[in-house]
Chains A and B, each alone.
Chain A
Amino acid sequence: DAKTTQPNSMESNEEEPVHLPCNHSTISGTDYIHWYRQLPSQGPEYVIHGLTSNVNNRMASLAIAEDRKSSTLILHRATLRDAAVYYCILIIGAGSYQLTFGKGTKLSVIP
């Protein structure tokens, strides 16, 4: 199984940018990189995904290393509502659907 490695926890000050790293050294060419987050007492929420190129949406940016062995989720300006567990997930193969969650990174935002 392709696996991801993330720090257990990170802290950020409110209104500052946050860079959440993820290592996925066994990634193969058709594996998509997805990020989900889970706020306390809620179901996971999709954040962003990418394959090879960097991606931006209204929630975040995803920076993918040139060799694709790592990626970084960037929250441009952290708010208290961004405090959550962030999961970096590889979806293996173009036709796959199964999300394999690790333990993720627990992000704390300090007012």
Chain B
Amino acid sequence: GAGVSQTPSNKVTEKGKYVELRCDPISGHTALYWYRQSLGQGPEFLIYFQGTGAADDSGLPNDRFFAVRPEGSVSTLKIQRTERGDSAVYLCASSRTSGSYNEQFFGPGTRLTVL
């Protein structure tokens, strides 16, 4: 079946602009995660959704970052007033449910470049 998809694959924006990054999880997966990966580092957790609600947003770096999942499927990560330090690959993952025995399936990521 189809895996996790993310759009766009690349996004270049200017400092101060607003961006939206989209994630389509695997159909039927109730858990959805966003991670951010800077060059040369492992991915860092941002936020976790169980269904429509954000169950854990402790990884969001500040209030410029926000994510939604209104119908419990597609999710959008929104970044306001982008800064150069926001440049990274943003990864989305989904799993059938949450829990430490569940594997997470990752999308290919969106590479965000803030000029």
Residue numbers of A with Cβ under 8 A of B are: 30-32, 34, 41-46, 49, 85, 87, 91-104
Contacts and interface: CB of A to CB of B under 8 A. Distances in A.
26 contacts: A31-B100, A34-B103, A41-B108, A42-B109, A43-B4, A43-B91, A43-B93, A44-B43, A44-B91, A44-B106, A46-B104, A46-B105, A49-B101, A85-B42, A93-B100, A95-B99, A96-B100, A97-B31, A97-B56, A97-B95, A97-B102, A98-B33, A98-B56, A98-B59, A99-B45, A101-B44
Contacts of A104: 42
B99 A100 contact: no
Given A43-B107, A43-B109, A46-B105, A98 B45 contact: yes
A85 to B, nearest CB: 8
Contacts of B35: 99, 101
Describe A's contact surface by its main secondary structure.
loop
- The winner among B42, B95, B106, B108 for most chain A CB atoms within 10 A is B42
A45 B41 CA distance: 16
A30 B101 CA distance: 11
Nearest to B111: A41
Contacts of B59: 98
Contacts of B93: 43-44
Interface of B: 4, 31, 33, 35, 40-45, 48, 56, 59, 91, 93, 95, 98-109
Contacts, number: 70
Given A43-B91, A44-B106, A95 B43 contact: no
B78 to A, nearest CB: 20
Given A98-B45, A98-B48, A46 B31 contact: no
A103 B42 contact: yes
Contacts of A32: 100-101
A104 B40 CA distance: 10
Contacts of A96: 99-100
- The winner among A46, A91, A99 for most chain B CB atoms within 10 A is A99
